[in-house]
C-alpha cells in the first residue's frame, strides 16, 4: 500500500463544476504540498499546508491532521485547470513522498 494515496486517479468535469481531489497518507508528516503539473512537465507549487485551510483564487486546500487527509477543491472549474494534481508529504524523518497524481480534464 502506498504511503500517500490520491483519489480519484482520473477526473473529467464540465466547465463551471466544483471539483474535489483527495489525498490520504499513512505516515506522520511535517508538511503537505499540492502541486500542479501541466502537459510538457512544468510543475507549479499550489499550496503548502501543515494545518487548517488555505485559499488562492478559485483553489482551496484543507488538511485534517488527525484523519491524515487533505483535499484540494477547485471552484468554477475552467479548461485551463486541466492538469495533473499531485499531493506530496514530508514525513517526520524528512523523506519526501509523492502521491501518484490525479489527472483532471475540464471540458468547455
Partner 1 sequence: KAGVTQTPRYLIKTRGQQVTLSCSPISGHRSVSWYQQTPGQGLQFLFEYFSETQRNKGNFPGRFSGRQFSNSRSEMNVSTLELGDSALYLCASSFSGWGQPQHFGDGTRLSIL
86 binds partner 1 (CB under 8 A): yes
98 binds partner 1 (CB under 8 A): yes
43 binds partner 1 (CB under 8 A): yes
Cβ pair 76, 50 in contact under 8 A: no
65 binds partner 1 (CB under 8 A): no
What is the Cα–Cα distance from 68 to 5, expressed in whole angstroms? 11
Sites of contact with partner 1 (CB under 8 A): 30-31, 33, 35, 40-45, 48, 86, 88, 90, 94-101
Amino acid at each position: 500500500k502506498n504511503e500517500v494515496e490520491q483519489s480519484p486517479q482520473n477526473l473529467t468535469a464540465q466547465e463551471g463544476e466544483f471539483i474535489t481531489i483527495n489525498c490520504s497518507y499513512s505516515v506522520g508528516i511535517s508538511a503537505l504540498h499540492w502541486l500542479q503539473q501541466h502537459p510538457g512537465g512544468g510543475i507549479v507549487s499550489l499550496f503548502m499546508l501543515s494545518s487548517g485551510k488555505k485559499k488562492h483564487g478559485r483553489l482551496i486546500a484543507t488538511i485534517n491532521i488527525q484523519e491524515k487527509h487533505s483535499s484540494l477543491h477547485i471552484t468554477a472549474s475552467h479548461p485551463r485547470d486541466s492538469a495533473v494534481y499531485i499531493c506530496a508529504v514530508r514525513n517526520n524523518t524528512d523523506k519526501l513522498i509523492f502521491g501518484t497524481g490525479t489527472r483532471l480534464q475540464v471540458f468547455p
